[in-house]
């Protein structure tokens, strides 16, 4: 395996052992970007010169012999809603193709403080409002698992998902408001972590919904997601939601003693929609068997009857808050904004007076009720997406398909880990391990056990067909 096939943890081990340099790792990824991204279209902007300078500095720091953090000198890509002062930040919109940020996001600050090297900014769905990964004005990244047909990359963190899956970065940053870390992780065969709201500061981040937005990592292993969470989580006075978080408790290494004493809820198949793909169902059932063999008690359950109806409520909250944030330019028809995204946001104008406030009140009640329901279990196992990645030309922008299984967790304030569950006809399948608020450690431990047992996270797409 080459340097661009490795996880962050594997690259870090090579650095510690003196078997390669940060400059070699960065150069390998930059060469791969130059060779493949003309068709993959993952990056908005590549920071080639800057990345090489930072890599040179990291190598010099390592040669001094002083202790360095586990992420020091390793590259990463960043979704183009995390601002970097003085740099272009489009938030996925052609309208902002020349917009220069005047602040640096807390996410980028923490990555730089950990010694990480940004390779560049990645494409995304406009304003982060879309789950297929389409962007008619900026262009949709190409799912690397099929070079013959342009399949959806998943959204809204589309470019990050494609970049990491194709080896254009070993890991990346996305955001998740209704599934935007987990959906591209699922369609691209990656591990993606949706954290509890407030766990990671949103300062300097382009907002879609201040109530539901979260920042999260997309990577090739559970360990990499955990390491990035350690670097990113923490209180930030510039984001009040971070000030009430309990401390993050992650061990240096996850225990390898199985999943005994854990109860994992397995919802009824009858509650699922009729657009479920058979291979997704098989992967979900197979994942339950793996977890059971690892010692977990798998408990068949029925989710509250309103559980999957929450997806519509999430859409209403997002549209309302996005309209408040972007009304000026959304209502200006002269602005170059994608038709589907504009329509989603303008839908907020049809809400009855008081409907938004009533939805937030109901959300608080549902969170309390679901907390009581969830007390009997340690986690829930569900598919991440209902289908493998379809061709981009065949999608229905108004369909509920891509975010059907992911939006309820944002509404209920839960945490969730999307993890590879095999392939169907060469396309990735995924399941998600859902945990209680602030239970990132627990779902990462479950995910690590599943990952180590199956090895599905080691699958890589054949990108030979993308060579320029």
Cα–Cα distance between 143 and 132 in angstroms, integer?
A: 11
156 preceded by cis ω (within 30°)?
Answer: yes
Cα–Cα distance between 373 and 371 in angstroms, integer?
A: 5
Alpha-carbon distance values, 373 to 195, 369, 433 (Å): 20, 6, 17
Cα–Cα distance between 425 and 258 in angstroms, integer?
A: 31
Identify the CA nearest to 207 among candidates 197, 193, 196, 217: 197
Q: Pick the catalytic residue from 21, 22, 79, 416.
A: 79
- Whether 39 sits among the annotated catalytic residues: the reply is no
Cα–Cα distance between 126 and 340 in angstroms, integer?
A: 10
Helical ranges in 294-405 per DSSP H: 310-330, 339-346, 355-374
Cβ neighbours of residue 303 under 8 Å, at least 6 residues apart?
Answer: 267, 268, 271
Q: Pick the catalytic residue from 175, 180, 209, 221.
A: 180
- Whether 105 sits among the annotated catalytic residues: the reply is no
461 in Cβ contact with 420 (< 8 Å): no
Sign, CA torsion 344/160/92/80: positive
Alpha-carbon distance values, 80 to 128, 137, 299, 427, 434 (Å): 10, 15, 40, 26, 27
- Whether 79 sits among the annotated catalytic residues: the reply is yes
410 in Cβ contact with 194 (< 8 Å): yes
Identify the CA nearest to 314 among candidates 413, 381, 192: 413
Retrieve residue 199's tokens.
């766990």
Cα–Cα distance between 344 and 112 in angstroms, integer?
A: 35
Q: Where are the beta strands (DSSP E) in 360-460?
A: 379-383, 415-424, 427-435
Identify the CA nearest to 30 among candidates 162, 170, 165: 170
Cα–Cα distance between 247 and 7 in angstroms, integer?
A: 27
Helix 222-232 to helix 440-454 angle, to the nearest 10 degrees? Answer: 160
Q: Pick the catalytic residue from 9, 156, 157, 185.
A: 156
7 in Cβ contact with 219 (< 8 Å): yes
Q: Report the length, in residues, of the chain.
A: 468
Catalytic residues: 79, 156, 180
């Amino acid at each position: 395996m080459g340097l661009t096939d490795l996880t962050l943890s594997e690259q870090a081990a090579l650095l510690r052992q003196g078997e390669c340099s940060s400059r070699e790792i960065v150069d390998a990824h930059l060469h791969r970007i130059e060779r493949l991204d003309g068709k993959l279209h993952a990056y908005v902007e590549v920071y080639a010169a800057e990345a090489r300078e930072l890599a040179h500095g990291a190598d010099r720091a390592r040669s001094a012999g002083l202790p360095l953090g586990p992420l020091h000198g390793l590259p990463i890509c960043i979704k183009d809603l995390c601002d970097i002062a003085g740099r272009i930040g489009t938030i996925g919109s052609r309208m902002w193709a020349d917009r220069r940020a005047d602040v640096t996001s807390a996410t980028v600050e923490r990555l730089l403080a950990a010694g990480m090297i940004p390779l560049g900014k990645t494409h995304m769905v406009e304003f982060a409002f879309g789950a297929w990964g389409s962007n008619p004005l900026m262009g949709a990244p190409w799912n690397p698992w099929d070079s013959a047909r342009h399949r959806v990359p998943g959204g809204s963190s589309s470019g990050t998902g494609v970049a990491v899956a194709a080896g254009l970065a070993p890991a990346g940053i996305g955001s998740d408001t209704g599934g935007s870390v987990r959906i591209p992780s699922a369609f691209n065969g990656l591990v993606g972590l949706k954290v509890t709201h407030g766990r990671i500061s949103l300062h300097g981040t382009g907002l879609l919904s201040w109530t539901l937005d979260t920042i999260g990592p997309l990577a090739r292993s559970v360990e990499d997601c955990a390491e990035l969470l350690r670097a990113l989580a923490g209180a930030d006075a510039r984001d009040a939601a971070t000030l009430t978080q309990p401390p993050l408790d992650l061990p240096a290494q996850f225990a390898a003693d199985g999943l005994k004493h854990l109860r994992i809820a397995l919802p009824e198949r009858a509650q699922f929609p009729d657009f479920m793909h058979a291979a997704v169902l098989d992967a979900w059932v197979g994942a339950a068997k793996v977890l059971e063999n690892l010692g977990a008690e798998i408990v068949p359950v029925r989710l509250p009857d309103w559980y999957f109806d929450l997806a519509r409520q999430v859409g209403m909250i997002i549209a309302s808050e996005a309209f408040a944030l972007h009304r000026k330019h959304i209502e200006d028809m002269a602005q170059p904004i994608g038709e589907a995204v504009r329509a989603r946001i303008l839908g907020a104008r049809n809400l009855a007076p008081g409907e938004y406030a009533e939805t937030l009140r109901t959300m608080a009640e549902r969170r309390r009720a679901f907390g009581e329901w969830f007390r009997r279990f340690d986690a829930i196992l569900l598919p991440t997406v209902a289908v493998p990645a379809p061709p981009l030309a065949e999608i229905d922008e108004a369909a509920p398909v891509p975010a059907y299984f992911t939006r309820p967790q944002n509404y209920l304030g839960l945490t969730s880990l999307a993890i590879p569950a095999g392939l169907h006809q060469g396309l990735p399948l995924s399941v998600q391990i859902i945990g209680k608020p602030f239970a990132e450690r627990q779902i990462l431990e479950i995910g690590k056990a599943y990952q180590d047992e199956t090895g599905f996270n080691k699958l890589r797409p054949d990108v030979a067909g993308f060579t320029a």
